A and B are shown apart, each in its own frame.
Chain A
Amino acid sequence: MQSSTAVRWAVLLAGVILASLGVLFATSIDQAEGEAQRTEPPPFLKSHAFTDLARKSLKGSSSEPPVRGGTLTTSWFTDPQTLNNITRYDSYANRVCRYFLFPPLLDIDGSTLELRPELAASFPELSGDHRTQTWTLKKGVCWHRGLADGTVVEVTTRDVQFCFDLIKNEKLAAPHLQSPLAKFKSLEVVDAYTFRIKLDEPYARAVYDFGWEFRLMPAHLVTAPPERFDEDPLSREPVGYGPFRVEKWDRGSHLTLVRNLSYPSPAHKPYYVERLRLLFVRDLDQTLPLFRRGEIDIAVMNDPTRYEVARKEDDLRERATFHEYYLPRWLYIGWNNDHWAFRDPRVRRAMTFFFPREMMASRFYEGHAAVLSGPFAINAKGYNHAVKPLPFDPGAGEALLREAGFADHDGDGWLDRDGKKLEFVVLEPINNPAALESGFEMFQKELSKAGVAMTTEQMAFDVLLESRAKTHQFAAISLGWSPDPVDDDLFVVFHSSMCEGGNNFVNYRNPECDALLERARVEHDPQERIRISHRLHEIIDADHPMTFLINPESLVLVSTRIRDVNITQLGSLMYDWWIPK
């Protein structure tokens, strides 16, 4: 009897222990899942359709087969400065040339942000020491204009050699291209489609840099010498080889591109639209009226408030689909790490506590911005979602300032230390968005309540950059960075050697960060590169050389007359959009 009671007790005890273990296990799973949910990135692409007609225009909703033809019109703020593929440097020219006229060797897939062969037949073969790349060009790609006698001219290594020599020519004025390609020392032509390029030392992003940045011009048509290369007639009447060619460029008015069906487009880029028209609209307030009139099919909205108003209009809900995606761009306030007050990381962190970033994102950006905790775009692989942005917490900020030795010693209402009042100016470019300005006003008020005097000073962006940022003549500076969408190299922004002559305007120095940045430049394993980026994110968050503000969303309306509309992480690339007859 006693033994059976003991057994019962033993079974009960075992049951309790098992149950407790079970509960503990289940709790730990829940916690892990909760953790996983919290560390998951937010959705990066959002498309909204409010009516049946609008829903029909979204990708995959139409049962009709796509047809070729039609003209798709979009508005751009201004003309490309030039369509010379070598000397171009502005974003408009880059888009026209890269996507439509002169596709690069490797293209970025907008949905995955991975590289894909475009003009290259495949990814290059790399030598064991990563110093030699062997590239093969796709066969059958022809220039839009051949020889004077009508002979078709194929894109071959002759063009590659010609352009490589041109870029290396000291008389050519294209520093934006010569700088990233400076590491490629020599080129050797193997045959009409194959060539090798050599680097002095291995560089992790070398394939990407050459595949994405190297540019071609038709060697058989170029007439201008290198020193006056941008005067070549091809700058105004470009001859490319891509899926579109220029039909008409009426400067200041519009640029019309027409489909070139002879280009062997990759399967995922059928480009059904026959004509693509870029209408140059300098007054951004005209974008929506033009869209309403049906004069443009894509309206990029710069003002989140207007976008929200448009989303509520019945007429536009019927005639448009609404799309939101994150631009590869982060905005920040850089604290001069050599400034007497901002030398202390506690003061820098305190500043972040005072900035109501969430409120700015929700109120002034209407929720179309993500608050950041580090120097990556929110959808970048390098962004470490485990590092959370500091909350808006003026109390925590004040505590940190007290810890750093700041108090109102002289009783004038302002914080000071060693007889110096805590006051500073945030330098900012004159074209900062209104929403960001409103955020700064709130920041100023919060600081003022805590006894910190902050003012803003606006100046032209180029002046700000040249005369203040690069010379470190500031206490705080409001700037932005457009990282590379595939794999950004933060070396120029955070490495201590970049304080002079680089982009480390804030004088940030951390040996561990330097070592990681150096490693990232030679690490070829993508997963390891991501791990390095995540660690960098943690270090930079701890040191807080900057207050990372937000990553704004790009807001786009697309007409419902277009079918199979989708948006990618690079925006509206229009690969498989089509227009019903």
Chain B
Amino acid sequence: MRTYLLKRLLFCVPTLLGITLVTFALSRMVPGGPLSQRLALLHEEGIEVGDEEIARYRDLLALDRPLLHQYGTWLRQSTTLDFGRSQSGDNLPVRTKIGEALAVSLGLQLVSILFIYVLSIPVGCYGAVCYGRWHERWVTLGLLLLYSIPVFVLAYLLIVLLCTGQVLSILPLHGLRTIDRQGFTWLDHAADIARHLVLPVICLSAAGFTAMTRYMRAGMVEALALDFVRTARAKGLRERTVIFKHALAHGIVPVLALLAGLFPYLLSGSVIVENIFGIPGMGRLAFDSVQSRDYPTLMALSLIIGIATMAGFLVSDLLQAAFDPRVRLR
């Protein structure tokens, strides 16, 4: 086990290097750059900048150095978690920007994942137990429809139904908290956050919930057909005990193993949902960084999400081995 872990960790180093190198190359291959983005903004404002000033600007942003030098400098600094300063115009330390966005996305995604699991496990069990019955088919159809709805369509539908007053106006549609919170008790704060989270969490969880329900249902259907379940029934155990004690322990394994695969999902946020609901999370940061060709932020984001993905795979494998005795790690 220890050897396996060491091997996997060692293997992470070249993979990460590869990820950063590819991101670096891709970001530099895209036409334009942080400076041209600023110059374009200035042009729109009717301000023209001379070549001399542009050259000085390039020098100050170190954009005129050879690419290998730029990559080497970034690599050296990032080993100490110093990702430099953003080139998007705010010039904030990248670490600060990512820290702020991560705090928002992490909280939101954790609630979504919790929501996914809390709902998908019982619905999946129900689907397996009632497999083939007419009402189960309707539920399956409903889930399929939910899965097919693009997230932005779902978001706008919910907004029209629940926020605009055209039907109801019971939920906020922007941000994560009310701006004027004077006189709020801790309970008011909690209720305020909960109300703001409802729609983003529904939108973020919809696809995950339906997919996870299908996995759960499939796992349980398989489990319910196994010999040990038949034996349990033959022993005269109650159906509830057979399902929740014996079959569930087997059927839940693939679903739990998938949990680790959601690590990168936790960190990367969602561009669409964050933009629609005005949430300044990681998805929006990544989108803005691409738009403004903010190289340092892009590099840091790819590194962090790369690490999260590899950690997710590793934990997933370890969980698989822990739950399923047939899996041996070498």
Chain A positions near chain B (C-beta within 8 angstroms): 71, 81-82, 87, 89-91, 94, 170-171, 173, 175-176, 178-180, 182, 227, 230-231, 235-236, 251-254, 256, 277, 279-283, 285-286, 289-290, 292-293, 295, 459-463, 465-467, 480-484, 488, 492, 501-503
Contact = CB atoms under 8 A, between A and B. Distances in A.
Interface in B47-68: 47-51, 53-54, 56-57, 60-61
A172 to B, nearest CB: 9
Given A173-B61, A231-B91, A253 B51 contact: no
B174 A252 contact: no
A174 to B, nearest CB: 9
Interface string B76-111: 000000000100111110000000100000000000
Given A175-B56, A281-B174, A81 B89 contact: yes
Contact of A235 (B61, B91, B159): B91
Contact of B50 (A173, A175, A463): A175
Contact of A503 (B48, B163, B180, B293): B48
Contact of B164 (A89, A289, A462, A481): A289
A179 B47 contact: yes
Given A251-B100, A282-B284, A465-B39, A290 B45 contact: no
A460 B49 contact: no
Contacts of A501: 50-51
B159 A173 contact: no
Contacts of B33: 462
- 9 tightest A-B contacts by CB? A252-B280, A175-B53, A81-B89, A462-B40, A462-B36, A463-B31, A462-B32, A230-B91, A175-B49
A492 B42 CA distance: 14
B175 A253 contact: yes
B37 A462 contact: yes
A170 B53 CA distance: 9
A286 B89 contact: no
A176 B47 contact: yes
A178 B53 contact: yes
B241 interface: no
Interface string B143-180: 00000000000001001000111000100011110011
B39 to A, nearest CB: 7
B18 interface: no
Contacts of B227: none
A91 B40 CA distance: 12
B93 to A, nearest CB: 9
A492 B19 CA distance: 44
Contact of A82 (B53, B91, B169, B173): B91
Contact of B31 (A180, A231, A289, A460): A460
Contacts of A179: 47-50, 53
Nearest to B54: A175
A98 B50 CA distance: 24
Nearest to B287: A282
B39 A462 contact: yes
A376 to B, nearest CB: 12
B276 interface: yes
B56 A286 contact: no
Contacts of B61: 173
Given A90-B89, A293-B173, A465-B39, A460 B284 contact: no
B42 A89 contact: yes
B275 interface: yes
B46 interface: yes
A18 to B, nearest CB: 57
Nearest to A84: B91
Given A81-B89, A253-B278, A256-B179, 8 more contacts: A82-B89, A82-B90, A176-B38, A179-B47, A252-B100, A281-B278, A295-B174, A465-B43
Contacts of A503: 43, 48
Contacts of B280: 251-253
B41 interface: yes
For A289, A482, A483, A502, the residue with the greatest tally of chain B CB atoms inside 10 Å of its CB is A289
A346 B32 CA distance: 35
Contacts of B50: 175, 179, 182, 501
B88 A81 contact: yes
A94 B61 CA distance: 22
Contacts of A463: 31-32, 36
A286 B272 CA distance: 13
Nearest to A81: B89
B52 to A, nearest CB: 9
A290 B174 contact: yes
B41 A277 contact: no
B38 A89 contact: yes
Interface of B: 31-33, 36-51, 53-54, 56-57, 60-61, 85, 88-92, 100, 156, 159, 163-165, 169, 173-176, 179-180, 275-276, 278-280, 284, 293
Contact of A292 (B164, B176, B275): B164
A319 to B, nearest CB: 11
B235 to A, nearest CB: 58
A482 B54 contact: no
A218 B38 CA distance: 26
9 contacts: A235-B90, A251-B280, A253-B278, A281-B174, A292-B165, A465-B39, A466-B32, A480-B44, A503-B43
Nearest to A467: B31
A515 B46 CA distance: 22
Contacts of B46: 481-484, 488
B175 A173 contact: no
Nearest to A232: B91
A482 B44 contact: yes
Contacts of A488: 46
B173 A180 contact: no
Contacts of B174: 279, 281, 286, 290, 295
For A90, A176, A463, A467, the residue with the greatest tally of chain B CB atoms inside 10 Å of its CB is A176
A180 to B, nearest CB: 7
A229 to B, nearest CB: 9
B57 to A, nearest CB: 5
Nearest to B55: A175
Nearest to B33: A462
A70 to B, nearest CB: 12
A46 B43 CA distance: 29
A279 B179 CA distance: 10
Nearest to A280: B278
A90 B41 contact: yes
Contacts of B279: 252
B164 A293 contact: yes
Given A230-B91, A282-B278, A482-B46, A465 B40 contact: yes
B325 to A, nearest CB: 48
Contacts of A90: 41, 89
A481 B164 CA distance: 37
A293 B163 contact: yes
A482 B174 CA distance: 31
B33 to A, nearest CB: 8
A489 to B, nearest CB: 9
Contacts of B37: 462
A483 B278 CA distance: 32
A466 B36 contact: yes
Nearest to A461: B40
A279 to B, nearest CB: 7
Contacts of B39: 462, 465-466
Contacts of B36: 462-463, 465-466
Given A253-B278, A282-B284, A289-B159, A173 B57 contact: yes
